[in-house]
């Protein structure tokens, strides 16, 4: 039984790791070209989770559509809605402040995160909303009278979508023209502009794509766990920011590895230790890894520094 239980936790760890990697990719996309950290991505994921559950609940009550169609339509509308919110955020907050010192955009995105959370808190009446379990029929992987190993359909679908998106992003960065232009801007923004690259287009595209990843992660989280809370964005955003820094703020592949480290740590802590201390233990472990990774320490410090000599725009 201990071995079967351990294997089940390995499977569980993959799904949460994939979600962390998806949201960490959003941080990487923006920081790579702008050298700025956006602290509103966690709140965008929260917004998408709320919209997803609300729409699915309404569609189930008002239509006779099949459950799969309802989930697809509700999730797609939520992702589009949240991506649009992200685009408006870029035009109204990010773009005007992109040439200012890093703290200007940092503080502004904190304010945006608070606005999104408080708006959703007022709409929901400070209540956590829930979604009835969907596609939770277990798929047996190992049959055993002692402890069967299994996975549900929704777990499998969510994990595959998240992993496929992250792996697709890695491939995009390596092989597509956008990836080459993004890497050029990441290396030297001024030189990229001198070479004729439309850096404003790359910046806008990067942020819209990052907002899409944040929206998709929120939708997948709501489908997997069946709940959304107006305060969930803070912890999700903080953890994935640590993941992005440890993995390298300009490497989606590095963030994928760091996300798996966090996902496995959280899963096994919840399985073998007191689950109420999971977040505390996770943040302590992330801090410890950050201290061991001196490049990460310098990166984290420079991201929040007032006088940044390596700033693209200074």
Beta-bridge mates of residue 145:
none
CB under 8 Å to 60, separation ≥6 — which residues? 67, 70
CA distance 67 to 60: 8
Three-state secondary-structure class, residue 127: coil
Provide the pLDDT for residue 272.
94
Provide the pLDDT for residue 87.
92
211 belongs to a structural domain: yes
Q: What CATH number does the domain containing 10 carry?
A: 1.10.3470
312 belongs to a structural domain: no
Provide the pLDDT for residue 302.
52
Q: Which domain holds residue 35?
A: 2-131+142-303
Provide the pLDDT for residue 309.
46
7 within 8 A of 151, measured Cβ to Cβ: no
- The CB-side HSE value for 58 (13 A sphere, CA atoms) comes to 11
310 belongs to a structural domain: no
309 belongs to a structural domain: no
Provide the pLDDT for residue 26.
93
Find the angle CA(177)-CA(34)-CA(306) to the nearest 5 degrees: 160
Provide the number of structural domains found in the chain: 1
57 belongs to a structural domain: yes
Q: Which residue has the tokens 């989930």?
A: 71
Q: Which residue has the tokens 């890894």?
A: 289
Three-state secondary-structure class, residue 263: helix
239 within 8 A of 157, measured Cβ to Cβ: no
Alpha helices in the chain (DSSP H): 2-34, 41-62, 67-89, 95-97, 102-124, 153-175, 177-187, 189-194, 199-225, 232-247, 252-272, 278-292, 294-303
User: Which H or E run contains 149?
Assistant: strand 149-152
Provide the pLDDT for residue 6.
94
Other CB atoms within 10 Å distance of the CB of residue 163: 18
95 belongs to a structural domain: yes
293 within 8 A of 47, measured Cβ to Cβ: no
CA distance 187 to 180: 11
pLDDT along the chain (314 residues), means of 10: 90 94 93 87 96 96 95 97 93 84 83 94 92 91 86 95 95 90 89 90 92 96 94 91 86 90 94 93 86 60 48 55
Q: Which two tokens stand for residue 47?
A: 């917004």
218 belongs to a structural domain: yes
Three-state secondary-structure class, residue 297: helix
136 belongs to a structural domain: no
């Amino acid at each position: 039984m201990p071995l079967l239980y351990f294997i089940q936790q390995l499977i569980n760890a993959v799904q949460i790791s994939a979600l962390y990697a998806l949201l960490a990719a959003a941080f990487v996309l923006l920081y790579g070209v702008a050298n700025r950290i956006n602290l509103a991505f966690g709140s965008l994921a929260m917004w998408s989770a709320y919209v997803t559950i609300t729409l699915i609940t309404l569609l189930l009550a008002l239509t006779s559509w099949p459950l799969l169609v309802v989930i697809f339509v509700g999730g797609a509308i939520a992702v589009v809605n949240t991506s649009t919110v992200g685009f408006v955020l870029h035009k109204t907050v990010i773009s005007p402040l992109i040439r200012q010192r890093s703290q200007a955009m940092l503080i502004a995105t904190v304010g945006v995160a608070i606005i999104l959370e408080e708006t959703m808190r007022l709409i929901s009446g400070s209540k956590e909303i829930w979604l009835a379990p969907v596609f939770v029929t277990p798929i047996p992987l190992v049959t055993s009278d002692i402890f069967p190993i299994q996975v549900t359909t929704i777990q499998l679908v969510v994990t595959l979508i998240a992993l496929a998106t992250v792996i697709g992003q890695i491939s995009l960065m390596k092989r597509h023209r956008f990836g080459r232009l993004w890497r050029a801007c990441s290396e030297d923004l001024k030189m990229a502009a001198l070479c004729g690259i439309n850096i404003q287009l790359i910046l806008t595209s990067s942020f819209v794509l990052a907002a899409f990843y944040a929206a998709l992660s929120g939708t997948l989280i709501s489908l997997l766990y069946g709940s959304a809370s107006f305060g969930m964005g803070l912890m999700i955003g903080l953890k994935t920011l640590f993941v992005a820094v440890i993995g390298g703020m300009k490497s989606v592949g590095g963030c994928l590895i760091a996300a798996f480290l966090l996902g496995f740590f959280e899963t096994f802590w919840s399985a073998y230790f007191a689950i109420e201390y999971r977040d505390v233990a996770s943040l302590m472990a992330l801090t410890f890894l950050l201290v061991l990774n001196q490049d990460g320490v310098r990166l984290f410090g420079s991201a929040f520094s007032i006088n940044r000599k390596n700033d693209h725009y200074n």
